[in-house]
Structure 1
């Protein structure tokens, strides 16, 4: 990371359903990396914990409620983009309330971990796939 490159902290979740499938979300048109598939989550705001960020983001993006007790820290990604460095902790989530609904994404897909590689992902998300394949 260069001295001028800012660090961006983004929290992400791997929602896992009873069939062992993982939720991925398609980035909408008009956003950077539009059309690529990612794990739900978002930027951690000033003064916010990664867990609080995920609880907020999962409610805003997917219309579901998650408690902090249901967020299991799993692995993280560290990736240098051209104008910032992304640090992204990934949490496993197996329990939530509500129905998963695409409120901000172009699409949603429940995918078996061994098929996640079939979906084009941003550079920071892609390395997390191998970890999920090995665990789930």
Structure 2
């Protein structure tokens, strides 16, 4: 069985990070995550992340450096994060319950989806380095 990569975008604007509140599935509804989605066959991580963020948020982004390490979601599924910069579009939660801008001080108190919590140290460093 081939591996499935899921990409997530850390959209940072100044000293704030965009987080998205899950609508589904029921066990993750109401929890916060970095928005993103699955990489399709033949698609690069960067192309998939740009496509997913446009579909989910209505924004155009440039995909930058990797953030942290891959997080295993299952035996063959891995979650990978990248820092992204918004270059256009209008921010709107097309696929999420809500969107919120948070600062480094708010990261620990956020009700993260379990997989994304692994990146909190790297997200803090990225936000404090701005």
Q: TM-score range by the shorter chain?
A: 0.7 to 0.9
- Give the direction of change, closer, same or farther, for the CA distance of 1:54–1:80 in structure 2 (3 Å limit): closer
Q: In the TM superposition, what are the counterparts of 1:1-136 in structure 2 within 5 Å?
A: 7-18=3-14, 20-30=15-25, 32-67=27-62, 70-81=63-74, 84-136=75-127
Q: Helix, strand or coil for the counterpart of 1:9?
A: strand
Shift of 1:31: 5.1
- Give the direction of change, closer, same or farther, for the CA distance of 1:119–1:97 in structure 2 (3 Å limit): same
| Aligned residue-pair number | 127
CA RMSD in angstroms comes to 2.0
Q: Per-residue displacement from partner, 1:27-73 (whole Å, max 9, x unpaired)?
A: 10455511111001001111111101011001100001124xx4322
Q: How does the TM-score come out when normalised to structure 1?
A: 0.82
Structure 1 residue ranges without an equivalent (≥5)? none
Structure 2 residue ranges without an equivalent (≥5)? none
Distance 2:121 2:57 in 1: 24
